C-alpha cells in the first residue's frame, strides 16, 4: 500500500518544511523582526535615484545630468569600507541602550528618515545641489542600514535558520520596494513629490519597531585592535585565500554579472516618461503588476538552482537578464501612443522584471556561498559592492550615450554587455565544475 505522503506527492519532510516556514512568523520574534527589517531595507535605494528620476524628468533636468545622478547610489558600492567598523564598534548613545547590532540599525534608520525629509524639501528644478546633497546622504544612510541589518540576521539566528530568515527578509524587502516605487509614484501624482518623500520617511517606523522588538545577538569576542587598513583588509584577504587561483575570474564574474542591468535601469524610467507615460502608469505597470512578476522570477530561481546547479543557473541568469533589454529596445522603437502601446509597455516591463528578479536571486545565492561565516557581513558587503560598482560607473554615462544613439540602440547595447559575462560563466564553470560555486 502506498505511503499517504507519497500518494499526495508530498513527503513528510516537505510538509514539515512548509509548516516550519509559516509557524515561526507567529512564534519566533526574530522572524517577525526580520520581516519588518526587510521592509525597511526595501525603502531607501529606489528613492535615492530610480524613483527620483521621474521627479527629475518632470523638473526638466537634462538627461545627461540625470544619468550622472545615478552615481548618487555610490555608497551602496562602497559600503564594504565601513562595514567592518560597524561589526567592531557600538553606535553612539544607542549602542549602550540597545546593543551593538540594534543600536546601529535604529541609528541608521533615523539618518535615513532625516535624509528623506531633506530630499522632500528640495527643488531640483531650481536648486539641484540641495537634492544632490541629501540624495547622497540618503544613499550613505541606506547602505549603512543594509550592512547592519545583514549583520544582525547572520548573528541573531543559527545557520540552520538562515534560509528561513533570508526568505522573510526578501518578502519584506519586496514589499518595501513596492512602497518606495509604486507608493511614492502614486503619492507624487496625487499630492506632489514633497508629500511622497515625507510619507516614505514615516514608513520607516515599522522597521524601527522591529529593531526595538528584536533580540540583541550575543556579543562576539572583541577582535584585537587594528588600524583602518587592517580592519578593511582582513575579510578581503580571507576571501582571496579561500578562492585561490579562481579569485580573479570569480570576482570578475561577480563584478560583471549585473552590469547590463545597472546600466539599463538608469534610463528605464526616463524612457517611460519620454514616451508619455504618467507616474501612475509607471507605478501600476512596474510596481504593482511588476511585483507579482518579480515574485515569479524569485520562486523560479529558487526552484531551479538546486536542480541544475549554481553555475548553470548563473549562465542562464546572465543570458536571460541581458537579452530582456531587447524588449526595452523594442518599446523605445515602437513608441508610447494608444491602448495597444500600453500593453506593449506592460509586457516589456514584465519580461525585463521577471529576468531581473531571476538573475538577482541566482547572484545572491552565489555570493552567499562565497562568504565565510566569520566574515559574513563584511564579505557579503564587499561582494555586493563589487557587483554594483562597475555597472554604476557606466550608468553615469548613460544619458550622454542616449543623446548620441537614442533609446533603442542604447538598450541593444546594454544587452550585448552580457555576452562577455556569459563567456566568463562558462570559464569559471569549466575550471571548477559545472554544479557548484567555489567552496566557502
**Count of domains in the chain?**
2
Which of 82-86, 248-252, 259-263, 399-403: highest mean pLDDT? 248-252
C-alpha cell at 189: 501624482
Task: Express as a percent the part of the chain with pLDDT over 90.
Answer: 32
Cα–Cα distance, 153 to 54 (Å, whole number): 33
Q: With bands split at pLDDT 50, 70 and 90, how would you rate the model's confidence at 274?
A: confident
Same domain for 192 and 72: yes
| Residue 203 confidence (pLDDT) | 95
Q: Is residue 16 part of a domain?
A: no
Phi, psi of 192 (to 5 degrees): 100, 160
Q: Is residue 285 part of a domain?
A: yes
| Residue 12 confidence (pLDDT) | 41
Same domain for 279 and 157: no
Q: Which of 221, 252, 268 is the last residue of a domain?
A: 221
| Residue 115 confidence (pLDDT) | 97
123, β-bridge pairs:
127
Q: Is residue 15 part of a domain?
A: no
Same domain for 190 and 97: yes
| Residue 5 confidence (pLDDT) | 35
Same domain for 272 and 182: no
- pLDDT over 50 at 406, yes or no: yes
**What global pTM score does this model have?**
0.73
Mean pLDDT computed over 383-403: 84
CATH number where 95 lies? 1.20.1250.20
The range of the structural domain enclosing residue 417 comes to: 233-432
Q: Is the dihedral of CA 212, 213, 217, 218 positive or negative?
A: positive
- pLDDT over 50 at 111, yes or no: yes
Report the candidate in 97, 367, 107 with the shortest Cα–Cα distance to residue 258. Answer: 367
Same domain for 157 and 281: no
- pLDDT over 80 at 239, yes or no: yes
Q: Is residue 1 part of a domain?
A: no
Q: Which long-range contacts (CB under 8 A, 24 or more apart) does 247-251 make?
A: 249/424, 249/427, 249/428, 249/431, 250/370, 250/428, 250/438, 251/386
238: exposed, middle or buried (Cβ count in 10 Å: 0-12, 13-18, 19+) = middle
Report the candidate in 165, 157, 139 with the shortest Cα–Cα distance to residue 385. Answer: 139
Cα–Cα distance, 332 to 269 (Å, whole number): 12
Q: What is the DSSP letter of 357?
A: H
Q: With bands split at pLDDT 50, 70 and 90, how would you rate the model's confidence at 10?
A: very low
pLDDT in tens, 16-32: 444 444 565 556 788 88
Q: Is residue 2 part of a domain?
A: no
Same domain for 271 and 188: no
Q: Is residue 228 part of a domain?
A: no
Cα–Cα distance, 308 to 374 (Å, whole number): 29
| Residue 48 confidence (pLDDT) | 92
Q: What is the DSSP letter of 351?
A: H
Q: Is residue 67 part of a domain?
A: yes
- pLDDT over 60 at 209, yes or no: yes
Q: Which long-range contacts (CB under 8 A, 24 or more apart) does 72-75 make?
A: 72/48, 72/132, 72/135, 72/136, 72/139, 73/45, 73/48, 73/49, 73/139, 73/388, 73/392, 74/136, 74/139, 74/392, 75/136, 75/139, 75/140, 75/142, 75/143, 75/144
| Residue 373 confidence (pLDDT) | 64
pLDDT in tens, 49-102: 888 988 998 899 888 888 888 888 888 888 888 888 887 888 998 988 898 889
Same domain for 336 and 380: yes
- pLDDT over 70 at 11, yes or no: no
Q: With bands split at pLDDT 50, 70 and 90, how would you rate the model's confidence at 254?
A: very high
Same domain for 362 and 280: yes
Same domain for 273 and 200: no
239 neighbors 386 (Cβ within 8 angstroms) = no
Q: Which of 172, 196, 221 is the last residue of a domain?
A: 221
- pLDDT over 80 at 113, yes or no: yes
Q: Report CA Rg, the chain.
A: 22
Same domain for 210 and 67: yes
Mean pLDDT computed over 280-308: 81
- pLDDT over 50 at 241, yes or no: yes
Using CA atoms of 416, 418, 424, 430 in order, give the dihedral in degrees to the nearest 10: -100
What is the greatest pairwise CA distance in the chain? 78
Name residues whose C-beta falls within 8 Å of residue 281's C-beta, 6 or more positions apart in sequence.
Answer: 272, 342, 345
Q: Is residue 250 part of a domain?
A: yes
Same domain for 400 and 345: yes
C-alpha cell at 134: 541629501
pLDDT in tens, 413-429: 999 988 999 999 898 88
| Residue 340 confidence (pLDDT) | 57
- pLDDT over 80 at 400, yes or no: yes
Q: Which of 221, 241, 256 is the last residue of a domain?
A: 221
- pLDDT over 80 at 136, yes or no: yes
Cα–Cα distance, 233 to 344 (Å, whole number): 49
Mean pLDDT computed over 179-189: 89
Q: What is the DSSP string of 178-206?
A: HIIIIIHHHHHHHH-HHHHHHHHHHTTHH
Same domain for 250 and 168: no
Amino acid at each position: 500500500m502506498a505511503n499517504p505522503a507519497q500518494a499526495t506527492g508530498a513527503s513528510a519532510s516537505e510538509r514539515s518544511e512548509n509548516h516550519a516556514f509559516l509557524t515561526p512568523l507567529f512564534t519566533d520574534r526574530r522572524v517577525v523582526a526580520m520581516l519588518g527589517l526587510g521592509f525597511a531595507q526595501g525603502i531607501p535605494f529606489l528613492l535615492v535615484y530610480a524613483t527620483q528620476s521621474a521627479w527629475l524628468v518632470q523638473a526638466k533636468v537634462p538627461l545627461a545630468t540625470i544619468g550622472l545622478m545615478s552615481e548618487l547610489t555610490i555608497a551602496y558600492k562602497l559600503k564594504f569600507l565601513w562595514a567592518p567598523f560597524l561589526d567592531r564598534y557600538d553606535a553612539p548613545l544607542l549602542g549602550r541602550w540597545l546593543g551593538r547590532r540594534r543600536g546601529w540599525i535604529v541609528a541608521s534608520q533615523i539618518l535615513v528618515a532625516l535624509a528623506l525629509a531633506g530630499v522632500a524639501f528640495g527643488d531640483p528644478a531650481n536648486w539641484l545641489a540641495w537634492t544632490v546633497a541629501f540624495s547622497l546622504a540618503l544613499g550613505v544612510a541606506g547602505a549603512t542600514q543594509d550592512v547592519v541589518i545583514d549583520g544582525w540576521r547572520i548573528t541573531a539566528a543559527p545557520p540552520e535558520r538562515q534560509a528561513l530568515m533570508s526568505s522573510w527578509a526578501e518578502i519584506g524587502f519586496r514589499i518595501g520596494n513596492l512602497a518606495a516605487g509604486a507608493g511614492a509614484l502614486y503619492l507624487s501624482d496625487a499630492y506632489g513629490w514633497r508629500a511622497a518623500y515625507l510619507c516614505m520617511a514615516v514608513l520607516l517606523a515599522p522597521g524601527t519597531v522591529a529593531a526595538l522588538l528584536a533580540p540583541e545577538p550575543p556579543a562576539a569576542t572583541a577582535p584585537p585592535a587594528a588600524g583602518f587598513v587592517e580592519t578593511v583588509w582582513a575579510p578581503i584577504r580571507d576571501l582571496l585565500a579561500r578562492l585561490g587561483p579562481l579569485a580573479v575570474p570569480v570576482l570578475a564574474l561577480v563584478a560583471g554579472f549585473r552590469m547590463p542591468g545597472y546600466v539599463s535601469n538608469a534610463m528605464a524610467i526616463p524612457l517611460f516618461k519620454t514616451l508619455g507615460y504618467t507616474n501612475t502608469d509607471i507605478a501600476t505597470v512596474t510596481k504593482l503588476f511588476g511585483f507579482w512578476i518579480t515574485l515569479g522570477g524569485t520562486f523560479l530561481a529558487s526552484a531551479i538552482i538546486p536542480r541544475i546547479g549554481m553555475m548553470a543557473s548563473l549562465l542562464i541568469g546572465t543570458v536571460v537578464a541581458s537579452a530582456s533589454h531587447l524588449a526595452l529596445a523594442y518599446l523605445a522603437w515602437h513608441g508610447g501612443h494608444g491602448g495597444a502601446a500600453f500593453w506593449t509597455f506592460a509586457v516589456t516591463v514584465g519580461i525585463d522584471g521577471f529576468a531581473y528578479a531571476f538573475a538577482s536571486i541566482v547572484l545572491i545565492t552565489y555570493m552567499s556561498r562565497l562568504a565565510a561565516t566569520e566574515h559574513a557581513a563584511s564579505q557579503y558587503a564587499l561582494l555586493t559592492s563589487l557587483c554594483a560598482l562597475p555597472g554604476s560607473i557606466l550608468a553615469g554615462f548613460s544619458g550622454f550615450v542616449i543623446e548620441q544613439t537614442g533609446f533603442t540602440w542604447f538598450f541593444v547595447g546594454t544587452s550585448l554587455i552580457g555576452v562577455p559575462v556569459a563567456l566568463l560563466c562558462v570559464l569559471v564553470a569549466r575550471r571548477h565544475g559545472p554544479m557548484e560555486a567555489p567552496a566557502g
